[in-house]
């Protein structure tokens, strides 16, 4: 009892057999939580910063409009354009697009449709005001100016 016996050769290596399981768990977490972008961006997207951000609860009610300078300037020019789903549309097509988006929703949710406008910081207020006017025309009055949190 009093004698401390010299331990014979403790195993020095850490058991790593559980490591793959841990990593796989991480992997599955990321795979489950990520949403793959379903449409390719045709316009530049650098979102403005803001502090008073709010989150929307029901994602199914959101439709996205992307506004910005086209990436392919040779084909579409340098003026800001509107992208809905995966095509560039003109300002006049917004009413039609809103109605198509509304048709995808059930009847009770139709007037709750929220447009998330993801606009590039380079865009001027002119095109934005035109879009807002068209959205009012289409009676999709809930609008969200998409922005990212401000980092000081």
Contact residues for another protein, defined by CB under 8 A: 16-17, 19-20, 23-24, 26-27, 30-31, 33-37, 48, 50-57, 59, 62, 79, 114, 116, 119-129, 132, 135-137, 139, 141-149
Instruction: Collapse the DSSP code of 148 into the 3-class scheme (helix H, G, I; strand E, B; otherwise coil) and give the result.
Output: strand
Q: At its nearest, how many Å lie between another protein and the CB of residue 6? A: 29
How, if at all, do strands 87-89 and 114-119 pair? unpaired
**CA 128, 134, 135, 137 torsion: positive or negative?**
positive
Contact (Cβ atoms closer than 8 angstroms) between residue 114 and residue 56: yes
Name which of 56 and 96 has its Cβ closer to another protein.
56
Name which of 7 and 124 has its Cβ closer to another protein.
124
Contact (Cβ atoms closer than 8 angstroms) between residue 142 and residue 101: no
Q: At its nearest, how many Å lie between another protein and the CB of residue 89? A: 18
Q: At its nearest, how many Å lie between another protein and the CB of residue 1? A: 38
Name which of 1 and 36 has its Cβ closer to another protein.
36
Q: At its nearest, how many Å lie between another protein and the CB of residue 136? A: 4
Burial class (CB within 10 angstroms; exposed 0-12, middle 13-18, buried 19+) of 1: exposed
Contact (Cβ atoms closer than 8 angstroms) between residue 87 and residue 31: no
Name which of 4 and 30 has its Cβ closer to another protein.
30
């Amino acid at each position: 009892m009093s004698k401390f016996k010299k331990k014979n050769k403790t195993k020095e290596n850490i058991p790593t057999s559980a490591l793959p399981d841990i990593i796989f768990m991480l992997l599955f977490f990321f795979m489950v939580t990520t949403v793959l972008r379903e449409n390719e961006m045709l316009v530049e997207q650098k979102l403005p910063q803001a502090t008073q951000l709010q989150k929307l609860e029901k994602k199914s009610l959101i439709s996205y409009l992307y506004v910005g300078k086209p990436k392919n300037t040779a084909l579409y020019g340098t003026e800001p354009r509107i992208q809905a789903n995966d095509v560039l549309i003109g300002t006049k097509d917004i009413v039609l697009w809103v109605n198509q988006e509304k048709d995808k929703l059930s009847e009770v949710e139709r007037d709750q449709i929220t447009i998330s406008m993801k606009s590039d910081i380079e865009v001027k207020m002119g095109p934005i005001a035109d879009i807002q006017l068209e959205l009012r025309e289409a009676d999709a009055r809930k609008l969200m100016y998409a922005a990212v949190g401000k980092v000081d």
